[in-house]
Amino acid sequence: MKKIMFLIMIAGLLMAFTSCSKSEEAASTPAAPEQTAADDPYAEVRGKVVTMAGPFTDNDAIKFEQSIKSFEEETGIDIQYEGSKEFEASISIRVEGGNPPDIVDFPQPGLLETFAGKGYVIDLNKVLDMDKVRSNYIQSWLDMATMDSPDGPIMAGVWGRVNGKSLVWYNKKAFDEAGYEVPETWEELVELQNTILADGDSPWAVGIESGAATGWPATDWVEEMMLRTTSLENYDRWVAGELKFDSPEVRKAIQTMADIWFADGMVHGGRRSIATTSFGDAPKVMFEDPPKAWLHKQGNFITSFFPDNLTAGEDYDFFYLPSVDPQYGRPVLVAGDIYAMFDDRPEVRMVMQYFATGASVEGWVRAGGAISPHKDSDLSWYSNIVDRKVAEVIQNATSVRFDGSDLMPGAVGAGSFWKEMTAYVSGSKSLDAALKAIDASWPN
């Protein structure tokens, strides 16, 4: 009997505790609106958390945090960005598992398109002030953000940072000292390669290792060559899956790349080292003393991976990868991050609206390594000459095309295209076998 009493007492205490904290809860709830000052437009969202996931790590993550800091301070919204090198894989787990972050930062619109097609993505036409968004981008960016969903076409995201990819980086000081000249045409580039070879060095630094994403820099090269050796129509058909990989056009593009990559002494470390060198480490050999390689083709984000104490425009610079065949003009390959919304709350809307303004990347643009696609951004933000030149290259392009592998279905663009190119480059597969395997992997 005593024991029962004891139990009942415990239960009673627990109940008291429960109701006590409940009443506290009740008391504190009405208190919140009282704190609202009339002049604080962000009272509703102050202290709220917006979660994000994306591929920014290391330097990229720091620069992103810096550029959104002022927004966070002004509105009181806490944007928690979770960057992962395994982003492509992990985001599918979270979205399919019904546990997506509020905003996802996709470097590959193709992956976003898959989610939009399954109906996971919120249509921004319905939740944002679209007049502001529309007036802040040129049409081609808006077109690239419009995707199919089960309810028809939706505005699936807004573009944040963009990259120009058709750039060849070089160690400016050593380059000038050696008396090399920036090539304007393909012939001049070939001549420069031969000069460097004759001087006993390797012209190119290439690396395609990137953990689970190994192979993507190779697909960039193929895309560059596609834009330079065949028509834009063919490029678009290729990206859409209408032009096969096993076609004369694609073969010609890959051959143009292979002529550089596999030639004796042309790439630092030789063919097999391309597959074992990380894309971020590859350019570093250009800045050793003396430089071990001279040229490196990569998007403008790569400056984040350069050694720390270098000054843009003085220690390093870039030139536009010349067109191979003049009849195809001056095409520029671009890429970018598109932010998509997976949960509709007032604070998430506010962050999304903010991402559609130049202010959201201003800090990053100033810190270097990002180009703003927004119309309301200012050229004076570009603190270094290199970034301004990248922005100019994109403006001067006769045509702009988005990174093709990012637009292809995930099974190809983040799968077989990467893997088969890696197999081909490392020498474990013939070009024939690799191309056939990519074609076979294209989802019906």
Partner 1 sequence: MLEDLKPSWRYVALTVLLALTAFILFGGFLLLQNLQNAKVLMTFFAVVWGLGSVALLYFVLNQIAQSMPRRIRSVAVALVFAGPAVAFLLWALVLPTLRSLALSFMDAAGRDFVFFKNYKFAFTDPIMLESFRNNLLWIVFGTSACVTLGLVISVLADKSRFEKVIKSLIFMPMAISFVGAGVIWKFIYAYKGEGVNVAEIGLLNAIVTAFGGEPQAWLLVPFWNNFFLIVIMVWLQTGYAMVIISAAIKGIPESINEAARVDGAGPVRIFFNITIPSIMPTIVTVTTTILIFSLKLFDIVRVMTGGNYGTNVIANEFYLQQFTYNNSGRASAIAIILLVVIVPVLIYNLKQFRARSVLK
Q: How many CA atoms lie within 13 A of 288 on its CB side?
A: 10
What's phi and psi for 396, nearest 5 deg? Answer: -85, -5
Is the CB of 48 or the CB of 228 nearer to partner 1? 48
Is the CB of 128 or the CB of 285 nearer to partner 1? 285
Cα 136 to Cα 376: distance, rounded to the nearest angstrom: 6
- Min dist. Cβ of residue 422 to partner 1 (A): 5
Cα 45 to Cα 75: distance, rounded to the nearest angstrom: 7
Is the CB of 211 or the CB of 248 nearer to partner 1? 211
Cα 353 to Cα 50: distance, rounded to the nearest angstrom: 13
- Min dist. Cβ of residue 25 to partner 1 (A): 5
- Min dist. Cβ of residue 169 to partner 1 (A): 18
- Min dist. Cβ of residue 368 to partner 1 (A): 28
Dihedral class, residue 403 (left if φ above 0, else alpha if ψ from -120 to 50, else beta): beta
- Whether residue 73 contacts residue 199, with contact meaning beta carbons closer than 8 Å, is answered with no
- Whether residue 102 contacts residue 81, with contact meaning beta carbons closer than 8 Å, is answered with no
Q: What is the dihedral of CA 104, 106, 112, 114, to 10 degrees?
A: -110
**In which residue are the tokens 């509105």 written?**
75
Is the CB of 18 or the CB of 80 nearer to partner 1? 18
Is the CB of 389 or the CB of 419 nearer to partner 1? 419
- Min dist. Cβ of residue 166 to partner 1 (A): 25
- Whether residue 88 contacts residue 116, with contact meaning beta carbons closer than 8 Å, is answered with no
- Min dist. Cβ of residue 272 to partner 1 (A): 4
Is the CB of 94 or the CB of 173 nearer to partner 1? 94
- Whether residue 222 contacts residue 166, with contact meaning beta carbons closer than 8 Å, is answered with no
Sheet with 293-297, side-by-side order of all strands: 202-204, 293-297, 167-171, 316-320
Interface ranges with partner 1 (CB under 8 A): 1, 3-4, 7, 11, 14-15, 18, 21-22, 25, 88-90, 92-93, 96, 114, 118, 200-202, 211-215, 265, 268-270, 272-273, 275-277, 285, 292-293, 410-411, 414-415, 419, 422-423, 426-428, 437, 443
Is the CB of 270 or the CB of 307 nearer to partner 1? 270
- Min dist. Cβ of residue 289 to partner 1 (A): 12
- Min dist. Cβ of residue 345 to partner 1 (A): 14
Cα 103 to Cα 81: distance, rounded to the nearest angstrom: 9
Angle at 13 (CA atoms; ends 7, 18), nearest 5 degrees: 125
Is the CB of 312 or the CB of 423 nearer to partner 1? 423
Query: Is it true that the peptide bond before 101 is cis, omega within 30 degrees of 0?
Result: no
